[in-house]
Structure 1
């Protein structure tokens, strides 16, 4: 009996060790939301597990309201980097809250602190043998009165692109692809990708809701699909395991 228990534990340990973690770090556009059965808001990384086979384990550590600065200062990154093992992946998507210039706990200059925080995530992931993947922030639904989608992220996506290029990091330009998504729906229908409800229309909101940053479940799924489609197209040998485990 003792031998059987030991053998079972060994098999379980080996099986778990063979799984690859996909850590997601970022802000509320990625984060898991409470009460997902009732809450219409979803982060796109919240729905990501369903796109992978069981050998990839999505560990979504994105948190509402965080910038690269606050994510580091709150020791959230340290807690993740300690657990990274060789062959794990780290999705990195920040920018929405780094731009909060009125908040000293979150704001970063895109060309200095933001840039160097991204470099830190990249270098420290690689030191553990993990593979970083850099993403630009997803677009906001921000149409002007002429129906033109106007960008809101300033120079943060540019710096993400530059860091990816300089450090040869796998990169997906989520801003670009989600701009195309918003434009394909147009000014009115794109509301379905986000959180637009009249008071009483949804039990979760007792007042009118008009949120063009955060995502509905539909929006989260469509953006996760964009990520998966672009991941498949990346030509990088370090992504072989994760790409091979897409359903």
Structure 2
């Protein structure tokens, strides 16, 4: 029995040792660079992605590890000054790989009180001695090429294999062309690769050509953010990674032995913003009755979010639920989505007569039995009860409910734009407070803006009646909603809202 236990123990030790040895001998690809390689924690926060976040999907993870050590805001100089390169260099072993891409931040000032991250242009040995205005320390600043060459040589000294990339292009078009950096950082990166024998990938040229093939209108909003010409979307970052892989296949670099065939890149799932409401939010074929939900997507970064307008004209909280529209929309909600709910205009309608869309006033639990023409008996609840149901159903799906008060009508009692502060606005706010969800008083905020414009300036927004707007009026309201979402820290939508 003792011999059996001893044998079992020895087998276990051998197994553990074997696993440890396998882990130590498995090569690792390290990526070093700036925010175009990895932004933040590499989790897409704020919608910012780097190609280093996707490069691993093209490689056989059973045979090679991938670690993205890039850091946004760094240059070839500050990446080393901060000790980031030292932490990578200490881990390197023979057979590892290091992908290197810098340049976007090297063009900044050599010495200032903000970043002090610039390098001397070129690949020469010239230096500039400074007292760093941020650290207060004496520093000898070198050329861009000097810093890149240092990383390459220290990689090679450990028996690892360096791969240098020219910086990705900016989404900054001139006469239908994407500017290259083949006379600056792209050229200098290539020269260092040639000098040291490192593999060089002209990512700048390859990606610029690819973007030009798509055309500017198809690139902005899909591969790059509308608000940012430097940082790509997830789709743009994945494309950059695929171009690197395609170029590596044409080299004699041994990393190509780990490249997978027929890769289908998995992009991060977009968030959804669902719009739930009546005709003042809904789409319409009538140009005189356009809901604000129609132009709202133009204020959203659609590379990060989908705007799904489920609003339906003529509906109240009651009929939206009774007709199954709510259940249909709810079935699409996913964890982390946003659900914007706005009703009130039709809730004041008839409770027990044709259309049957009125809800009971208030937020209480009282009910009324109503016999409908053809569908039988219906238990009608209060406006607040229906709102609470929508809020709680949304929470159960792991989504985020947001309540808006109804839009103001083009009515001007006593020279002031109409407000419903004593009814539907009040009740919507009470539900939001009771359920601890965000509330935005669109009724008051838009009415205040109307008053600033004046009655005659607002009148063209309402060409058909006093409730429904044309596209201009809808855009006015949509922009107001977007501004409120952008300002709110609590909401979690700030990074998804965009203004020209």
Q: TM-score range by the shorter chain?
A: 0.7 to 0.9
1:27 aligns with 2:299: no
1:64/1:153 CA distance change after superposition, 3 Å: farther
| Cross-structure match for 2:326 | 77
For residues 44-79 of structure 1, what are the alpha-carbon distances to aligned partners after superposition, in whole Å with 9 as ceiling and x for unaligned? 011111111121111001011000000001100001
| Cross-structure match for 1:227 | 481
For residues 177-204 of structure 1, what are the alpha-carbon distances to aligned partners after superposition, in whole Å with 9 as ceiling and x for unaligned? 1111221222222112221xxxxxxxxx
| Cross-structure match for 1:114 | 383
Query: Looking at CA atoms only, which structure, 1 or 2, has the larger radius of gyration?
Result: 2
1:83/1:102 CA distance change after superposition, 3 Å: closer
Tell me the matched-pair count.
Answer: 217
C-alpha separation in 2, matches of 1:150 and 1:89: 29
* TM-score w.r.t. length of structure 1: 0.82
Backbone CA RMSD of aligned residues:
1.8
C-alpha separation in 1, matches of 2:305 and 2:433: 26
Q: Equivalent of 2:461, from 179, 193, 215?
A: 193
Residues 121-200 of structure 1 mapped to structure 2, 5 A cutoff: 121-144=390-413, 146-151=414-419, 155-195=423-463
| Cross-structure match for 1:88 | 337
C-alpha separation in 2, matches of 1:180 and 1:148: 9
What are the ranges of 5 or more consecutive residues in structure 1 without an aligned counterpart?
Answer: 196-208
What are the ranges of 5 or more consecutive residues in structure 2 without an aligned counterpart?
Answer: 1-260, 365-381
Specify which structure has the higher proportion of helix: 1
Equivalent residue of 1:45, what SS? coil
Displacement of 1:110 in angstroms is 2.5
C-alpha separation in 2, matches of 1:150 and 1:227: 18
1:158/1:19 CA distance change after superposition, 3 Å: same
C-alpha separation in 2, matches of 1:98 and 1:74: 15
Checking the alignment, whether the CA contact within 8 Å between 1:142 and 1:151 is kept in structure 2 is: no
Equivalent residue of 1:46, what SS? coil
Displacement of 1:149 in angstroms is 2.7
Displacement of 1:103 in angstroms is 5.7
- Tell me: higher relative CO, structure 1 or 2? Use CA pairs within 8 A at least 6 residues apart: 1
Q: Equivalent of 1:45, from 293, 296, 300?
A: 293
Displacement of 1:166 in angstroms is 1.2
For residues 116-169 of structure 1, what are the alpha-carbon distances to aligned partners after superposition, in whole Å with 9 as ceiling and x for unaligned? 11111111101111000000001001013x523343575111110011111110
